[in-house]
């Protein structure tokens, strides 16, 4: 069993209290590693090291294009270790191996995208009057904190850390206590770069301890958080006390809206993929299926057939669906399944699956729920499992009302050949991303991603995310007599 360490101020360290947390493989329940249980003191050491590194001339003198080169070097290391990393992500998170590869590939693309952007974020000059030059520069914010959820660790760390380093900030990452393995590898790659001490720091440990200390630390200048709404609110409150901006990527209850004129086979495929990816433990999972009423029997029948053909197995076996993260998450999902039995019907699935050789994992049949009201918890709350809830609509107006009827607003899929309808809905849907006749557009490294309402605020991914990690300064210079 591997004993991992944290990385603070250029050194690999244990927790200051010597305590450790076991890390399990969700597919089998086996303990695969242990991580230091980072304390408030450890967080303070990391943040102070990052603050010192930010203000030291050494890091400041690394030019933008050189920061880009550093990020390209990380991309190269990720690529060189692609097989190992994909396997590690699969063992750590439980997702099928092909999804582990997809996540590593996305991480590589984030480092390349933001590496290329490092010397291309420009300022402005503003015409005011003769004898006055006014210009606007975007400077780095300072110490940036990155609090990571367990479901897509390598992707989510990469997207925000690459953007922050590109803009010249220093970084403290708090990885998820359940899935720290690829974060540890990425830390190794950063350690090998020979950056000035304190530019990149990685804390492991519990959210209530290390995460809370990081989000409330007075020397942090920006917090990027991805996780649940409840924790996001706590993080925002802690940061607000220090007048520190936050970027929040929270949950979703994203709909796929299916009209009778859609391309049926492609739509079935898109709808199924949108909910089974990472066993439904995806913030942007398409967890609500809204079908045009007249088309329901035909379309739902095809989705049910596809669900019945899906294979559930350990991540490393690379079938369609892996395990739920752990017993606690599984029990939470099963509470929703029991509620569905009371309020509506289980169309297919709903039972635990016992996988030979992986008895310690918590697996669930892909599940479809029908017959519940749009006000039900099943329609409103994130289930975070391979569970799809079905509704019908009569016309575009009702489809729109249903789509916008939750507190979330992360992603929406629209499936129709009617371009007018697609544009109209895209303009009226409250979601940070709208996909027409696709869902996800191949991972979306370049596309702004984030939520309306309780799905969060601020945007990650794409060019726009670079601005999270800059602060605007205006300089006005008077010249002449
Ligand atoms: P979580 O909120 O429990 O934990 C996220 C991170 O916050 C972890 O690192 C955790 O240790 C830390 N944390 C916990 N309590 C904290 C506190 N009081 N202060 C500071 N940090 C704390 O979420 P999770 O269970 O890891 O992830 C699942 C949730 O994340 C789902 O709701 C999902 O929708 C959401 N999510 C959103 C996105 C997105 O981009 N919108 C991506 C992935 C996951």
Would the CB of 211 count as within 6 Å of ligand 1? Answer: yes
Q: What was the pLDDT predicted at 322?
A: 98
Give me ligand 1 centre to Cα 154, in Å.
14
Q: Which two tokens stand for residue 303?
A: 């989705």
Residue 428 gets the label, from left (phi > 0), alpha (psi -120 to 50) or beta, of alpha
- pLDDT tops 90 at residue 441: no
> Nearest C-alpha to atom 30 of ligand 1 is from which residue?
227
Q: Residue 142: inside a domain, yes or no?
A: yes
What pLDDT does residue 410 have? 98
451 lies in some domain:
no
Work out the average pLDDT over 48-52. 98
CA of 41 to the centre of ligand 1 (A): 22
Give how far Cα 473 sits from Cα of 144, 222, 333, 476, Å.
18, 16, 48, 10
Query: Quick check: CB of 151 below 6 Å from ligand 1?
Result: yes
CA of 208 to the centre of ligand 1 (A): 11
- Helix axis angle for 97-117 and 153-166, nearest 10°, is 0
Residues 295 and 405 in one domain: yes
pLDDT at 215 over 80: yes
Same domain, 293 and 164: no
Q: What is the pLDDT of residue 431?
A: 98
Residue % of the chain over a pLDDT of 70: 100
In short, whether 278's Cβ falls inside 6 Å of ligand 1 is no
Distance CA 333, CA 339 (A): 10
Q: In the chain, what percentage of residues exceed pLDDT 90?
A: 99
Q: The tokens of 21 are what?
A: 């947390």
Ligand 1 centroid, distance to 39 Cα (angstroms): 18
**324 and 400 together in one domain:** yes
**Residue 7 within any structural domain of the chain:** yes
The structure tokens listed for 157 are: 């760390």
Cα–Cα distance for residue pair 182/171, rounded to 1 Å: 17
Per-residue pLDDT averaged across 67-77, rounded? 98
SS3 237: helix
- In this structure, the answer to whether residues 64 and 120 fall within a common structural domain is yes
Q: Is the CB–ligand 1 distance for residue 234 below 6 Å? A: yes
Averaged pLDDT, 224-245: 98
Let me know how long the chain is. 481
| Residue 351 falls inside a structural domain | yes
Give 312's DSSP letter.
B
Q: Report which secondary-structure segment, H or E, holds 470.
A: strand 470-478
CATH of the domain at 437: 3.40.309.10
Point out the ligand 1 atom lying closest to the alpha carbon of residue 410.
41
Tell me the Ramachandran region of residue 473: left when phi exceeds 0, alpha when psi lies from -120 to 50, beta otherwise.
beta
- For the beta carbon of residue 169, count every other beta carbon within 10 angstroms: 26
Q: Is the CB of 235 under 6 A from ligand 1?
A: yes
Residue whose Cα lies nearest atom 6 of ligand 1: it is 149
Q: Are 282 and 303 within one domain?
A: yes
Q: Best mutation site among 146, 149, 278 for ligand 1, i.e. most ligand atoms within 8 A of its Cβ?
A: 149
The predicted pLDDT at position 7 comes to 98
Query: What's the CA angle centered on 88, arms 83 and 90, to 5 degrees?
Result: 100
Whether 450 is covered by a domain: the verdict is no
Model confidence at 442, in pLDDT bands (50, 70, 90)?
Answer: confident
Neighbours of 404 (CB within 10 A): 17
Beta strand 170-174 with 200-203 is: parallel
When pLDDT is averaged across residues 261-266 and rounded to a whole number, the result is: 98
Cα dihedral value 403, 407, 408, 413, nearest 10 = 0
Domain count, the chain: 2
Mean pLDDT (whole number) for 275-293:
98
Mean pLDDT of 217-235: 98
For 348-358, how does the pLDDT look when each residue is reduced to its tens digit (9 = 90+)?
A: 999 999 999 99
Is residue 453 situated within a structural domain? no
CB neighbours of residue 308 within 10 Å: 12
Q: Which two tokens stand for residue 194?
A: 């020979």
Q: Please tell me whether residues 159 and 202 are part of one structural domain.
A: yes
Say if ligand 1 is within 6 A of residue 325 CB: no
Work out the average pLDDT over 162-176.
Answer: 98
Q: Do residues 334 and 468 both lie within one domain?
A: no
Mean pLDDT value across residues 437-451: 92
Do 344 and 270 share a structural domain? yes
Q: What's the whole-number average pLDDT of the chain?
A: 98
Question: pTM above 0.95?
Answer: yes
Q: Strands 124-126 and 246-249, how do they pair? A: unpaired
User: Hey, which residues are catalytic here?
Assistant: 249, 283
Q: Whose CA is nearest to atom 32 of ligand 1?
A: 228
DSSP 8-state symbol, 449: B
Q: Is the CB of 276 under 6 A from ligand 1?
A: no
On whether residue 481 sits in a domain, the answer given is no
Q: Are 417 and 263 in contact (CB under 8 A)?
A: yes
Q: Which of 93, 228, 433 to mutate to test the pocket of ligand 1 (most atoms within 8 A of CB)?
A: 228
The predicted pLDDT at position 122 comes to 96
Q: Using a 6 Å cutoff on CB, does residue 326 contact ligand 1?
A: no
Q: What's the rounded Cα separation, in Å, for the pair 286 and 434?
A: 12
How many Å apart are CA 236 and CA 3, to the nearest integer? 32
Q: For residue 230, how far is its CA from the centre of ligand 1 (angstroms)?
A: 9
Enclosing domain of residue 100: 2-250+458-475
Banded model confidence at residue 444, pLDDT cuts 50, 70, 90: confident
Residues 245 and 260 grouped into a single domain: no
Distance CA 211, CA 214 (A): 5
pLDDT tens string 185-208: 999 999 999 999 999 999 999 999
Average pLDDT over residues 335-353: 98
Examine the domain organization and report whether 261 and 276 are in the same domain: yes
Does 203 fall in a domain?
Answer: yes
Q: Is the Cβ atom of 149 under 6 angstroms away from ligand 1?
A: yes
Tokens standing for residue 395: 């016309």
User: Per-residue pLDDT averaged across 293-302, rounded?
Assistant: 98
Pick the more confident residue, 444 or 216. Answer: 216
Based on the fold, state whether residues 403 and 416 are members of the same structural domain: yes
CA 426 to centroid of ligand 1, rounded, Å: 28
Average pLDDT of span 340-346: 98
Place of tokens 């991992």: 4
Å from CA of 148 to ligand 1 middle = 6
Cβ-based neighbour number of residue 260 at 10 Å: 15
Q: Which residues partner with 225 through β-bridges? A: 147, 248
Choice among 132-146, 409-423, 437-451 with the minimum mean pLDDT? 437-451
Question: Whose Cα sits closest to atom 12 in ligand 1?
Answer: 207
Give the CATH number of the domain where residue 23 resides: 3.40.605.10
Say if residue 192 is in the same domain as residue 265.
Answer: no
User: How far apart are the C-alpha atoms of 315 and 86, rounded to whole Å?
Assistant: 11
Residue with tokens 């993080």: 235
């Amino acid at each position: 069993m591997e004993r991992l360490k944290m990385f603070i101020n250029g050194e690999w360290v244990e927790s200051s209290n010597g305590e450790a947390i076991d890390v399990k493989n969700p597919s089998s329940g086996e303990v695969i590693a242990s991580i230091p249980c980072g304390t408030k003191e450890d967080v303070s050491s990391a943040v102070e090291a990052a603050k010192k590194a930010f203000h030291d001339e050494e890091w400041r003198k690394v030019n933008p294009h050189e920061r880009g080169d550093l990020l390209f070097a990380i991309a190269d290391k990720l690529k060189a270790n692609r097989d190992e990393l994909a396997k590690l992500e699969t063992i750590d998170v439980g997702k099928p191996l092909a999804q582990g590869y997809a996540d590593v590939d996305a991480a590589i693309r984030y480092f390349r995208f933001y590496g290329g952007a490092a010397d291309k974020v420009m300022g402005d000059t503003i015409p005011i009057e003769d004898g006055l030059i006014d210009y606007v520069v975007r400077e780095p914010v300072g110490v940036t904190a990155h609090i990571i959820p367990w479901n897509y660790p390598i992707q989510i760390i990469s997207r925000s850390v690459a953007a922050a380093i590109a803009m010249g900030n220093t970084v403290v990452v708090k990885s998820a206590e359940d899935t720290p393995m690829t974060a540890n590898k990425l830390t190794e790659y950063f350690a090998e770069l020979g950056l000035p001490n304190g530019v990149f720091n990685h804390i492991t440990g519990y959210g209530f301890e290390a995460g809370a200390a990081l989000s409330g630390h007075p020397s942090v200048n920006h917090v990027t958080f991805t996780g649940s709404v409840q924790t996001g609110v706590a993080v925002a409150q802690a940061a607000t006390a220090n007048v520190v901006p936050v970027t929040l990527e929270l949950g979703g209850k994203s709909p796929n809206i299916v009209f009778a004129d859609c391309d049926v086979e492609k739509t079935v495929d898109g709808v199924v993929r949108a909910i089974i990816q990472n066993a439904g433990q995806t913030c942007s999972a398409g967890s609500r299926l809204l079908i045009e009423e007249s088309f329901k029997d035909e379309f739902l029948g095809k989705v049910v057939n596809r669900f019945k053909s899906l294979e559930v197995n350990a991540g490393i076996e690379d079938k369609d669906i892996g395990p739920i993260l752990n017993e606690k998450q599984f029990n939470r999902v099963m509470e929703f399944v029991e509620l569905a039995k009371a309020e509506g019907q289980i169309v297919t699935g709903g039972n635990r699956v016992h996988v030979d050789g992986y008895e310690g994992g918590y697996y669930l049949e892909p599940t479809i729920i029908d017959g519940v009201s749009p006000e039900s918890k099943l329609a409103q709350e994130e289930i975070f499992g391979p569970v799809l809830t079905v509704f019908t609509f009569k016309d575009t107006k009702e489809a729109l009302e249903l789509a916008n009827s939750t507190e979330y607003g992360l992603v929406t899929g629209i499936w129709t050949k009617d371009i007018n309808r697609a544009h109209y809905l895209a303009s009226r849907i409250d979601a940070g991303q709208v996909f027409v006749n696709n869902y996800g557009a191949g991972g979306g490294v370049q596309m702004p991603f984030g939520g309306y309402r309780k799905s969060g605020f601020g945007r990650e991914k794409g060019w726009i995310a670079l601005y999270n990690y800059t602060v605007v300064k205006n300089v006005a210079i008077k010249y002449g007599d």
